[in-house]
């Protein structure tokens, strides 16, 4: 059902982009005329916008909090803080980390962008922990998307985790083979065997596949980091369809 809704949204936006008056459109990578084009150091290109009549539809409404220093930008519809916006890939936002401690207490808010034109496709699902299986589910927990097994051969606590996208000590795993229509991050954890790390912590999160490749992290630092999460949107997909159609017709 979600796939059908997204496909319908792509078709709708494709029609909007094709038949929108030229005077109402903004050049690629720029804000609409007479609209705010920055919030702090974040550029706000159309179809995003800040202010009435500056965005394509309500989901692209950017709220600029100028009481902060520097100003902070948020997607008003889903209350997520923006880090960057690119026309080619979508909106980059600060994403959460879902964690479970040794007592089984879970922290972190699942991501849910259902009902919006955004998907979580351009990200890696990353899990960290000793002898732990992390699974990415649909919102109601009925369908498994992907799973990761992270293994510790000696049961030691987790040390440095990533360097150039490579997991150290077999304590982490990554998976990016989930549906393009994915709109919910809802993760669960289970033990593969009893031997655990000394701190017993387990972590799971989605992260921009390009952002974490050059990071070196330890688990103690993960919750202090601003995880970068890509929200691909249907305008990107619609524009790709339109470009492909124009190219095909020109041949």
Rounded average pLDDT over 162-185 = 60
Check if the beta carbon of residue 189 is closer than 8 Å to that of residue 128. Answer: no
pLDDT of residue 127: 78
In CATH, the number for domain 95-225 is: 2.60.120
Rounded percentage of the chain residues whose pLDDT exceeds 90:
24
**pLDDT band per the 50, 70, 90 thresholds, residue 232:** confident
**pLDDT band per the 50, 70, 90 thresholds, residue 106:** confident
Q: Please determine, for residue 160, whether its predicted confidence score (pLDDT) is greater than 50.
A: no
The residues of the chain that CATH labels 2.60.120 are 95-225
């Amino acid at each position: 059902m979600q796939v059908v809704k997204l496909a319908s949204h792509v078709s709708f936006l494709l029609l909007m982009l094709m038949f929108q008056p030229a005077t109402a459109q903004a050049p690629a990578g720029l804000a609409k005329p007479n609209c705010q084009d920055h919030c702090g150091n974040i550029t706000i290109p159309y179809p995003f916008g800040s202010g009435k009549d500056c965005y394509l539809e309500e989901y692209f409404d950017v709220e600029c909090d100028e009481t902060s220093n520097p100003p902070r930008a948020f997607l008003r519809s889903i209350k997520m803080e923006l880090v960057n916006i690119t026309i080619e890939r979508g909106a980059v936002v600060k994403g959460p980390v879902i964690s479970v401690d040794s007592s089984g207490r879970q922290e972190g808010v699942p991501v849910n962008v259902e009902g919006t034109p955004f998907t979580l496709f351009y990200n890696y699902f990353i899990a960290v922990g000793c002898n732990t299986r992390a699974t990415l589910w649909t919102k109601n927990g009925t369908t498994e998307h992907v799973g990761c097994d992270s293994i510790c051969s000696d049961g030691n606590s987790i040390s440095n985790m990533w360097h150039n996208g490579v997991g150290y000590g077999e304590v982490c795993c990554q998976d990016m083979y989930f549906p393009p229509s994915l709109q919910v991050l809802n993760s669960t954890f289970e033990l593969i065997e009893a031997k655990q790390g000394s701190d017993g912590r387990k972590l799971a999160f989605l992260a921009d596949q390009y952002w974490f490749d050059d990071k070196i992290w330890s688990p103690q630092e993960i919750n202090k980091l601003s995880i970068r999460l890509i929200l691909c949107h249907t305008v990107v997909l619609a524009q790709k369809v339109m470009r492909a159609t124009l190219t095909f017709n020109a041949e």
